[in-house]
């Protein structure tokens, strides 16, 4: 079920454009932010709201690399290995993440906490090597910084579970 | 942000100020003065001033911005649109990010002036999906501008209306190409359109549209305020102004530096970037993002402007200067770049 | 007159209208510029880059499919640079394309294969492993082989723009892009198969054809589809007397490349194992196989017995909507001049008689629109019917008229038919309110309160808009019949310009059955039986007298059987038991029932004699589509044990001691051309495959009763009794959707 807040956001975003279908990609992202991936329900709902057929929404999802049809980890590690990062150890950072998390490209840990993806240039070339965890940037990475971050996120998750 | 005494700070002049993204800081530092000035003159005069400045597109193609605006039909019964291309995705490039992070109002002011120049009343800022935190910053700045009357109806009592909002991409390098971006903005897959017609005539929703890069538009307030001639003189002939260069790769002091157009590449690497890292020798340089043919160590005397780089068979591109040291495997570097283009379905 | 653009292509000057694409200009000169994504009539894609040509003064090669001609342009379509570029494009296309040509359905007729052959792109520098994916079953009729796909987008565009179904999309991106269907893993569409036909490679293959043959091992014969009344030309691919494919191979005829699901897949009833191949004679209450000689001799004897005992008034004949004009013509001759009865009719699905009558009365007998004229019309009025289902080609022509040159479509209908999407004005009326709507539009009556279910001002607005149109094509279904046709024609002719009309009849030769006089009161060519001159013309040609009084119409025949007044009934290619939902008891009074059929239908089950008829694929002759255009049917194969209605009738006539002068259907056609008004058509054009328009003119009697004309309301997936015997039409899930579903 999509939340009321999300539905309200849909309405605001759609109102920005003279052609409703312009809102498809932003709506997909917002839906994914809430659900964790783009569900069938979200596809149907967005198609209905902007007045297109569901297949047109599916076409967009396939095209844009940030949109996922299946759930990713709660913390989605997106490590850049493009040229500027590669020159400063981006591939090693990716390999370190993979080893540390025990997963490969586009895989998720069994507990659903972490997922890993090798991505293209994130626009953090001057802070290479860099990555994004969800939408947060981490730059000038070293294996040690990765270790610390993973620890921190694990603790944060436990904390939030106790609170729940 | 690292600084360097050789920099000529025009676009980045407010970057060091505390809370530089807020409208109050912007207003206290000549903010929205250019808009005031522009609204007092004829739209065509704004275009002429920009033409005079020799401002060329900072996205990569280097097309004269004033000329691009001039192609928009004066008489049209259709709405016109201004689209800001903030889909910065060219590997090696990260300058638009700081422009939006540290001085979003400078960009907004440029967009509103562009809107006035072509008599458009609606603008969109297409921000790449990964830059979600920037969208929040820019959305906040837009809200501030509306609240203070720099956006919306009857801006500064001039009778000119202009609305602006952000639009998020979701991961597609191809959408950096202007017609692909328009398709994406219309909710389609970001495939480039067949040209002609060009967007200035048939663009967003089939209406006349100008599409400019973040850095290009951020320059506009300075041109309006200080004059096209002043701006043109900052650079080399036909290559007006300064440019944000992103030094990355095997360089001692990676960073974004604002330097005059035509600044020699060799000096940029040595004097601004502190030379090749770890005391190594230079193997080659990618001068303007991964689409540009590489320059060997022997070619680095070249002045960094559009025409000089074209002359030696490369491109100034998007300002992403990637330095490769002597130990770099060129086959591997080429392979990585090719992998990128395959992933992004380009080329 | 606009000035032509003058340019030079491959050294030859050419002048074409402004806006012409280079690729089309070259084609006009007979120069073929290869292309995969470009397709005439569809939007431009600019995806494949095969059509690169060199244009002088342009720095790079340009795509001929997106470049518009300019004055003074000098174009070279085959320079070494161009050939090299094309070769390189092919090398790219082949990086992932499997080289399974020896087993690929498309091998031998593949555009990619042809291009590689032409440019010799035999070597590759790519050593990467090809990305393999298993083929996908989109539906029982459409399969997709991802690795073979070259992403030309033709299928997507033809489905969107040609069919208005939009069933395809493109998923993922770059080298992983693939065609995706609209319902997850499956297609939900009209199943027309246009995507398969238009696919330049073997990516989309047909569920009925795939892996069955090599294209050079079959014989191709152009003929006419046997389903609806639109008369699409189709090429049957036949191997060893089995039809294995239908497509309009040369894109000729009234339909160009169009075929619907029935035309492209629904021919398979021909191959059905349930086809009758031996005559059946009822012996001791059971139908048993018998020889043709025995069956026909027995038929003649039984008929002669009834005639002798009860007279010709006790015999009746029901004809077919699907047999040829020649067969229908002979059938009415047999009924009238051999049996001596006018108890002759067929299931009328449109009131063609009233249309001819009204146009003749108005002195506008030439106002029949052809299929082509519908596609070229600037204004179209569709009253009743659901052409998308019942007349797929006409619906396609209407969409083409709207899409290709901005025609305005006006729809009057009780339902929300799919063509409403193209309509600029739509008048929704109460069920069966179409005839009243016509009278109200004509200003004859004020529309009753509950006629228009939509907005109050809809009717006057609609009428007003139509008066601004000219050269309107008026298309109407069975909702308009009898007097209603007269009302419509008289009002239609008051509209400006050349208003033309089309009555929509259900089946392949519904129009021909009417034209050939399968009526109790009308002779061939809509000549009233009461006209002595008309009767005499046939009497002198046939050398026998014709019964002068009108016979029984179909309803009256059935009533006569029930009342015991009709003792013998001959049925050719019709299934009245199903059409009229009759019980066996209804036929209790019959002494003799003869049925000529392809299958053991409900009617055949009750028969004393059943003879196995040939299907449309196994005979020659002509058919007339619902617009009145005659086309030639060509025999493509033989079916052992069967005989055509023509052969059956000739044999029966012989047994009745008649010496008919016909050796073939062509002999009959010559007589039709000579004797039937409106059918004075040139034979050569017909024989080379053209659709030749007829111009019937006459004063047939008015429609006797309203329940004689009714459409079967077949959907895209049904075709009277025939569709029951088609595996293809029953295999698709869409066939289970309720009638009228818009895809």
Give B125-153 pLDDT, tens digit per residue.
999 999 999 999 999 999 999 999 999 99
- The number of angstroms, rounded, from the C-alpha of C134 to the middle of its chain's C-alpha atoms is 35
Residues C344 and C357 in one domain: no
Nearest residue in chain A measured CA to CA from B187: A22
B23-227 carries CATH number 3.40.50.11540? yes
Given the structure tokens 């035509």, which residue do they identify?
B262
**Calpha distance C377→C211 (Å, rounded):** 42
Residues C548 and C642 in one domain: yes
Q: What is the SS3 string spanning C367-420?
A: CECCHHHHHHCCEEEEECCCHHHHCHHHHHHHHHHHHHHCCEEEEEECCCCHHH
Write down the pLDDT at residue C120: 82
pLDDT digits (tens, 9 = 90+) for C711-728: 999 999 999 999 999 999
What are the φ and ψ backbone dihedral angles of B150, each rounded to 5 degrees?
Answer: -95, -5
Coil vs helix vs strand at A77: strand
Cβ of residue A67 closer than 8 Å to a chain B Cβ: yes
Write down the pLDDT at residue A164: 47
Q: Which of C516, C445, C480 is nearest to C358 (CA)?
A: C480
How far lies C548's CA from each of C408, C521, C524, C579, C697, in Å? 48, 9, 14, 29, 21
In this complex, do B342 and C170 lie within 8 Å of one another by their Cβ atoms? no
- CA dihedral of residues C186, C189, C191, C193 (deg, nearest 10): -90
Tokens standing for residue C18:
């402004």
Helices (H), C493-601: 510-515, 532-542, 554-562, 576-579
CATH number at residue C138: 3.30.70.20
Residue A65 Cα, gap to closest chain B Cα (Å):
5
**Calpha distance A107→C489 (Å, rounded):** 70
Better pLDDT: B91 or C123: B91
Nearest residue in chain B measured CA to CA from A140: B254
In this complex, do A121 and B250 lie within 8 Å of one another by their Cβ atoms? no
pLDDT at C648 over 50: yes
Dihedral sign for Cα C577, C582, C585, C589, please.
negative
pLDDT band at residue C46 under the 50/70/90 scheme: confident
Write down the pLDDT at residue C544: 94
Cβ of residue A53 closer than 8 Å to a chain C Cβ: yes
Residue A148 Cα, gap to closest chain B Cα (Å):
23
Cβ of residue A122 closer than 8 Å to a chain B Cβ: yes
Tokens standing for residue B60:
């990569």
Contact A145, A138 (CB under 8 A): yes
What are the φ and ψ backbone dihedral angles of C241, each rounded to 5 degrees?
Answer: 60, 25
Write down the pLDDT at residue B268: 98
Question: Which chains does chain C touch, 3 or more C-beta pairs < 8 A?
Answer: A, B
- The residues that bridge with B124 in the sheet, in sequence order, are B83, B165
In this complex, do A59 and C166 lie within 8 Å of one another by their Cβ atoms? no
Q: Given C504, C529, C555, which residue is the final one in a domain?
A: C504
Q: Which residues of C touch A59 (CB under 8 A)?
A: 169-171, 180
How far lies C708's CA from each of A69, C346, C509, C528, in Å? 57, 9, 17, 18
Q: Given C504, C525, C548, which residue is the final one in a domain?
A: C504
CA angle B97, B99, B104 (to 5 degrees): 110
Contact B26, B145 (CB under 8 A): no
| Of residues C169, C173, C177, nearest to A55 (C-beta) | C169
CB pairs under 8 A between B and C: 14
Q: Which residues of A touch C177 (CB under 8 A)?
A: 62
Cβ of residue A41 closer than 8 Å to a chain B Cβ: no
pLDDT digits (tens, 9 = 90+) for B278-315: 999 999 999 999 999 999 999 999 999 999 999 999 99
Q: Which of A1, A2, A49 is nearest to A21 (CA)?
A: A49
Nearest residue in chain C measured CA to CA from A57: C169
Cβ of residue A89 closer than 8 Å to a chain B Cβ: no
Task: Say if residue C701 is exposed, middle or buried (CB neighbours under 10 Å; 0-12, 13-18, 19+).
Answer: middle
Residues C521 and C474 in one domain: no
What are the φ and ψ backbone dihedral angles of C10, each rounded to 5 degrees?
Answer: 50, 45
In this complex, do C174 and B189 lie within 8 Å of one another by their Cβ atoms? no
Dihedral sign for Cα C442, C448, C451, C452, please.
positive
**Calpha distance C111→C106 (Å, rounded):** 9
Residue B242 Cα, gap to closest chain C Cα (Å):
31
Cβ of residue A51 closer than 8 Å to a chain C Cβ: no
pLDDT at C60 over 70: yes
- The number of angstroms, rounded, from the C-alpha of C657 to the middle of its chain's C-alpha atoms is 38
Q: Which domains does chain A have, with CATH numbers?
A: 4-63 (1.10.10), 75-163 (3.40.30.10)
- CA dihedral of residues A30, A34, A38, A41 (deg, nearest 10): -100
Report the b/e string of A93-131 with b at 16+ CB within 10 A: bbebbbebbebeeebbeeeeebbbbbbbbbbbbbbbbbb
Coil vs helix vs strand at B116: helix
Write down the pLDDT at residue C464: 94
Provide the pairing of β-strand B295-296 with B282-286: antiparallel
| Of residues B194, B343, B345, nearest to C66 (C-beta) | B194
Residues C521 and C574 in one domain: yes
Write down the pLDDT at residue B25: 98
How far lies B199's CA from each of B182, B209, C648, in Å? 9, 5, 70
Q: Which of C519, C243, C510, C235 is nearest to C391 (CA)?
A: C510
Cβ of residue A95 closer than 8 Å to a chain B Cβ: no
In this complex, do A62 and C172 lie within 8 Å of one another by their Cβ atoms? yes
What are the φ and ψ backbone dihedral angles of A108, each rounded to 5 degrees?
Answer: -125, 145
CA angle B236, B237, B242 (to 5 degrees): 40
Nearest residue in chain C measured CA to CA from A54: C182
- Cβ within 8 Å of residue B175, ≥6 positions away: B87, B89, B126, B128, B169, B181, B184, B190
First and final C-alpha spacing in chain C:
42
CATH number at residue C49: 3.10.20.740
Residue C162 Cα, gap to closest chain A Cα (Å):
18
First and final C-alpha spacing in chain B:
34
List the beta strands (DSSP E) in C644-694: 692-693
Question: Which chains does chain A touch, 3 or more C-beta pairs < 8 A?
Answer: B, C
Tokens standing for residue B251:
């360089």
Q: Which of C205, C221, C203 is nearest to C265 (CA)?
A: C205
**What is the helix, strand, coil percentage profile of chain A, to 5?**
55, 10, 35
Residue A90 Cα, gap to closest chain B Cα (Å):
11
For residue C722, tell me if it sits in a domain.
no
Rounded to the nearest integer, the mean pLDDT of chain C is 96
For residue C97, tell me if it sits in a domain.
no
For residue C728, tell me if it sits in a domain.
no
**Calpha distance B33→B26 (Å, rounded):** 10
In this complex, do C173 and A63 lie within 8 Å of one another by their Cβ atoms? yes
Cβ of residue B132 closer than 8 Å to a chain A Cβ: yes
Query: What is the interface pTM, i.e. ipTM, of the complex?
Result: 0.96
> How many C-beta atoms surround the C-beta of residue B143 within 10 A?
12
The architecture in CATH of the region B242-343 reads: Roll (3.10)
Residues C381 and C470 in one domain: yes
Report the b/e string of C545-561 with b at 16+ CB within 10 A: ebbeebbbbbebbbebb
Write down the pLDDT at residue C291: 98
Interface test with C, best of A55, A63, A66 (most C CBs within 10 A): A55
Residues C70 and C198 in one domain: no
For residue C730, tell me if it sits in a domain.
no
In this complex, do C180 and A54 lie within 8 Å of one another by their Cβ atoms? no
Residues C540 and C673 in one domain: yes
For residue C716, tell me if it sits in a domain.
no
Write down the pLDDT at residue C447: 81
Q: Which residues of A touch C168 (CB under 8 A)?
A: 55
Average pLDDT, stretch B204-211? 98
Residue B85 Cα, gap to closest chain C Cα (Å):
22
For residue C709, tell me if it sits in a domain.
no
Residues C387 and C470 in one domain: yes
Cβ of residue A135 closer than 8 Å to a chain B Cβ: yes
Tokens standing for residue C220:
């191709």
**What is the helix, strand, coil percentage profile of chain C, to 5?**
35, 20, 45
Where does CATH 3.10.20.600 sit in chain B?
Answer: 242-343
Tokens standing for residue A26:
């932003």
Query: How confident is the prediction along chain A (164 residues), in pLDDT tens digits per residue?
Result: 789 999 999 999 999 999 999 999 999 999 999 999 999 999 999 999 999 999 999 999 999 999 999 999 999 999 999 999 999 999 999 999 999 999 999 999 999 999 999 999 999 999 999 999 999 999 999 999 999 999 999 999 887 765 54
**Calpha distance B68→B211 (Å, rounded):** 9
In this complex, do B345 and C46 lie within 8 Å of one another by their Cβ atoms? no
In this complex, do C166 and A55 lie within 8 Å of one another by their Cβ atoms? yes
Contact C437, C459 (CB under 8 A): yes
- The residues that bridge with C368 in the sheet, in sequence order, are C501
Q: Which residues of B touch A38 (CB under 8 A)?
A: none
Lowest-pLDDT choice from A14-23, A141-150, C120-129, C186-195: C120-129
In this complex, do C66 and B345 lie within 8 Å of one another by their Cβ atoms? no
Q: Given C244, C271, C298, which residue is the final one in a domain?
A: C271
What are the φ and ψ backbone dihedral angles of C128, each rounded to 5 degrees?
Answer: -65, 150
In this complex, do A25 and B170 lie within 8 Å of one another by their Cβ atoms? yes
How many residues in chain C?
743
Query: How many domains are contained in chain C?
Result: 4
Q: Which residues of B touch C175 (CB under 8 A)?
A: 342, 345
Dihedral sign for Cα C53, C56, C58, C64, please.
negative
CATH number at residue C308: 3.40.50.740
Identify the contact set of chain C against chain A, taking CB-CB distances under 8 A: 166-173, 177, 180-182
- The number of angstroms, rounded, from the C-alpha of B4 to the middle of its chain's C-alpha atoms is 21
In this complex, do B342 and C175 lie within 8 Å of one another by their Cβ atoms? yes
Tokens standing for residue C678:
């409106």
Residues C365 and C500 in one domain: yes
pLDDT digits (tens, 9 = 90+) for B159-182: 999 999 999 999 999 999 999 999
Rounded to the nearest integer, the mean pLDDT of chain B is 96
pLDDT band at residue B2 under the 50/70/90 scheme: low
Contact C148, C203 (CB under 8 A): yes
pLDDT at C1 over 80: no
Nearest residue in chain B measured CA to CA from A80: B91
Tokens standing for residue C632:
């030639």
In this complex, do C46 and B189 lie within 8 Å of one another by their Cβ atoms? no
Cβ of residue A25 closer than 8 Å to a chain C Cβ: no
Residues C497 and C383 in one domain: yes
In this complex, do C66 and B189 lie within 8 Å of one another by their Cβ atoms? no
- Cβ within 8 Å of residue C232, ≥6 positions away: C224, C225, C248, C253, C254, C255, C258, C259, C260, C263, C393
For residue C710, tell me if it sits in a domain.
no
Interface test with B, best of C174, C176, C180 (most B CBs within 10 A): C174
Q: Which residues of B touch C177 (CB under 8 A)?
A: 345
**Calpha distance C111→C113 (Å, rounded):** 5
Q: What percent of chain C has pLDDT over 70?
A: 100
For residue C737, tell me if it sits in a domain.
no
Q: Which residues of C touch A106 (CB under 8 A)?
A: none
Nearest residue in chain B measured CA to CA from C66: B194
Given the structure tokens 């297949």, which residue do they identify?
A55
Where does CATH 3.40.50.11540 sit in chain B?
Answer: 23-227
Give the range of the structural domain holding residue C419, as residue numbers without chain letter. 352-504
Q: What percent of chain B has pLDDT over 70?
A: 99
């Amino acid at each position: 079920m999509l939340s009321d807040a999300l539905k309200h956001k849909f309405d605001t975003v759609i109102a920005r454009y003279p052609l409703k279908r312009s809102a498809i990609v932003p709506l997909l992202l917002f839906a994914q932010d809430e659900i964790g991936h783009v569900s069938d329900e979200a596809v149907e709902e967005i198609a209905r709201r902007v007045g297109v057929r569901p297949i047109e929404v599916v076409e967009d999802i396939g095209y844009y690399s940030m949109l996922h049809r299946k759930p990713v980890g709660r913390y989605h590690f997106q490590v850049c290995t493009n040229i500027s990062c590669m020159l400063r150890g981006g591939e090693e950072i990716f390999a370190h993440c993979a080893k540390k998390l025990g997963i490969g490209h586009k895989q998720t840990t069994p507990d659903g906490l972490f997922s890993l993806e090798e991505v293209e240039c994130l626009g953090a070339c001057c802070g290479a090597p860099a990555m994004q965890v969800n939408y947060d940037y981490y730059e000038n990475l070293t294996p040690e910084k990765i270790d610390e971050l993973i620890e921190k996120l694990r603790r944060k998750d436990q904390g939030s579970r106790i609170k729940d | 942000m690292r600084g360097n005494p050789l920099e000529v700070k025009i676009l980045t002049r407010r970057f060091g100020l505390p809370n530089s993204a807020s409208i109050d800081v912007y207003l206290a530092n000549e903010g929205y003065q250019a808009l005031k000035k522009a609204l007092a003159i004829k739209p065509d005069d704004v275009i002429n001033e920009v033409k005079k400045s020799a401002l060329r597109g900072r996205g990569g193609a280097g097309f004269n911005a004033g000329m691009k605006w001039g192609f928009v039909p004066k008489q049209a019964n259709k709405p016109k649109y201004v689209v800001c291309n903030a889909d910065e995705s060219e590997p090696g490039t990260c300058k638009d990010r700081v422009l939006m992070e540290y001085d979003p109002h400078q960009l907004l002011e440029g967009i509103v002036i562009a809107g006035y120049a072509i008599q458009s009343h609606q603008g969109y800022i297409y921000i790449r999906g990964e830059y979600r935190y920037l969208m929040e910053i820019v959305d906040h700045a837009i809200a501030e501008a509306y609240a203070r009357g720099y956006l919306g109806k009857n801006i500064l009592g001039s009778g000119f209306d202009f609305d602006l909002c952000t639009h998020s991409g979701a991961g597609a390098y191809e959408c950096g190409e202007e017609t692909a971006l328009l398709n994406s903005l219309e909710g389609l897959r970001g495939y480039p359109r067949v040209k002609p017609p060009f967007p200035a005539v048939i663009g967003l929703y089939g209406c006349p549209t100008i599409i400019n890069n973040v850095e290009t538009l951020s320059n506009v307030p300075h041109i309006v305020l200080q004059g096209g001639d002043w701006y043109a003189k900052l650079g080399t002939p036909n290559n007006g102004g300064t440019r944000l260069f992103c030094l990355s790769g095997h360089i001692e002091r990676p960073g974004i530096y604002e330097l005059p157009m035509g600044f020699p590449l060799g000096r940029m690497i040595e004097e601004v970037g502190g030379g090749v890292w770890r005391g190594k020798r230079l193997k080659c340089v990618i001068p303007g993002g991964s689409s540009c043919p590489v320059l060997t160590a022997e070619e680095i005397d070249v002045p960094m402007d559009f025409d000089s780089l074209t002359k030696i068979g490369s491109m100034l591109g998007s300002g992403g200067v990637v330095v490769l040291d002597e130990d770099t495997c060129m086959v591997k570097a080429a392979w990585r770049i090719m992998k990128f283009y395959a992933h992004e379905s380009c080329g | 007159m606009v000035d032509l653009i003058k340019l030079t292509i491959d050294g030859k000057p050419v002048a074409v209208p402004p806006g012409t694409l280079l690729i089309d200009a070259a084609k006009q000169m007979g120069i073929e510029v290869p292309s995969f994504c470009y397709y005439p009539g569809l939007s431009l894609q600019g995806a494949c880059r095969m059509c690169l040509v060199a244009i002088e003064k342009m720095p790079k090669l340009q795509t001929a499919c997106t470049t518009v001609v300019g004055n003074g342009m000098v174009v070279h379509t085959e320079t070494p640079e161009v050939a090299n570029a094309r070769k390189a494009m092919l090398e790219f296309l082949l990086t992932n394309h499997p080289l399974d040509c020896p087993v690929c359905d498309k091998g031998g007729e593949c555009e990619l294969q042809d291009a590689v052959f032409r440019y010799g792109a035999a070597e590759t520098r790519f050593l990467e492993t090809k990305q393999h994916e298993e083929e996908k079953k989109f539906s029982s009729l459409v399969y997709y082989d991802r690795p073979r796909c070259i992403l030309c987008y033709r299928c997507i565009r033809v489905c969107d723009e040609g069919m208005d179904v939009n069933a395809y999309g493109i998923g993922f991106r770059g080298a992983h892009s693939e065609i995706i269907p609209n319902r997850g893993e499956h297609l939900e569409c009209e199943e027309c198969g246009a995507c398969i036909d238009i696919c330049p490679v073997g990516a989309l293959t047909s569920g009925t054809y795939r892996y069955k043959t090599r294209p050079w091992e079959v014989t191709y014969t152009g003929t006419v589809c046997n389903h609806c009344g639109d008369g699409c030309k189709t090429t049957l691919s036949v191997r060893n007397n089995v039809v294995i494919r239908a497509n309009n191979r040369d894109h000729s005829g009234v339909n160009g490349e169009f075929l619907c699901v029935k035309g492209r897949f629904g021919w398979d009833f021909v191959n059905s194992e349930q086809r009758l191949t031996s005559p059946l004679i009822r012996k001791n209450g059971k139908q048993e196989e018998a020889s043709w000689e025995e069956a026909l001799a027995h038929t003649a004897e039984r008929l002669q017995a009834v005639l002798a005992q009860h007279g010709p008034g006790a015999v009746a004949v029901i004809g077919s909507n699907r047999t040829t004009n020649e067969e229908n013509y002979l059938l009415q001759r047999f009924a009238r001049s051999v049996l001596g009865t006018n108890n002759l009719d067929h299931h009328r699905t449109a009131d063609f008689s009233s249309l001819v009558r009204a146009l003749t009365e108005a002195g506008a007998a030439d106002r029949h629109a052809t299929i082509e004229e519908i596609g070229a019309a600037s204004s179209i009025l569709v009253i009743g019917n659901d052409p998308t289902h019942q007349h797929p080609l006409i619906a396609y022509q209407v969409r083409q008229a709207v899409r290709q040159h901005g025609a305005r479509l006006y729809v009057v209908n009780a339902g929300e038919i799919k063509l409403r999407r193209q309509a600029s004005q739509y008048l929704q009326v109460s069920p069966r309110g179409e005839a009243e709507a016509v009278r109200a539009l004509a200003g004859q009556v004020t529309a009753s309160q509950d006629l228009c279910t939509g907005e109050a001002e809809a009717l006057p607005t609609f009428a007003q808009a139509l008066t601004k149109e000219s050269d309107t094509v008026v298309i109407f279904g069975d909702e308009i019949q009898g007097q209603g046709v007269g009302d419509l024609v008289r009002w239609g002719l008051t509209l400006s310009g050349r208003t033309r009309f089309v009555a929509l009849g259900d089946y392949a030769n519904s129009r021909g059955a009417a034209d050939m006089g399968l009526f109790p009161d009308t002779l061939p060519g809509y000549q009233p039986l009461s006209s002595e001159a008309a009767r005499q013309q046939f009497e002198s040609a046939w050398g026998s007298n014709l019964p002068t009084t009108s016979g029984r119409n179909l309803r009256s025949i059935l009533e006569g059987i029930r009342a015991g007044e009709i003792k013998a009934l001959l049925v050719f290619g019709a299934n009245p038991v199903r059409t009229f939902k009759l019980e066996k008891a209804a036929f209790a009074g019959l002494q003799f029932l003869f049925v000529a059929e392809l299958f053991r239908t409900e009617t055949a089950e009750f028969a004393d004699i059943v003879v196995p008829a040939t299907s449309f694929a196994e005979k020659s002759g002509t058919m007339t589509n619902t617009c009145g255009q005659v086309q030639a049917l060509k025999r493509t194969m033989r079916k052992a044990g069967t005989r055509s209605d023509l052969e059956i009738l000739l044999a029966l006539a012989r047994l009745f001691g008649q010496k008919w002068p016909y050796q073939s259907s062509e002999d009959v056609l010559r007589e039709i051309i000579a004797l039937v008004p409106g059918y004075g058509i040139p034979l050569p054009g017909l024989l080379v495959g053209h659709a030749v328009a007829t111009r019937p003119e006459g004063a047939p009697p008015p429609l006797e009763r309203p329940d004689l004309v009714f459409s079967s309301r077949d959907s895209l997936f049904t075709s009277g009794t025939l569709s029951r015997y088609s595996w293809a039409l029953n295999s698709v899930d869409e066939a289970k959707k309720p009638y009228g579903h818009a895809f």
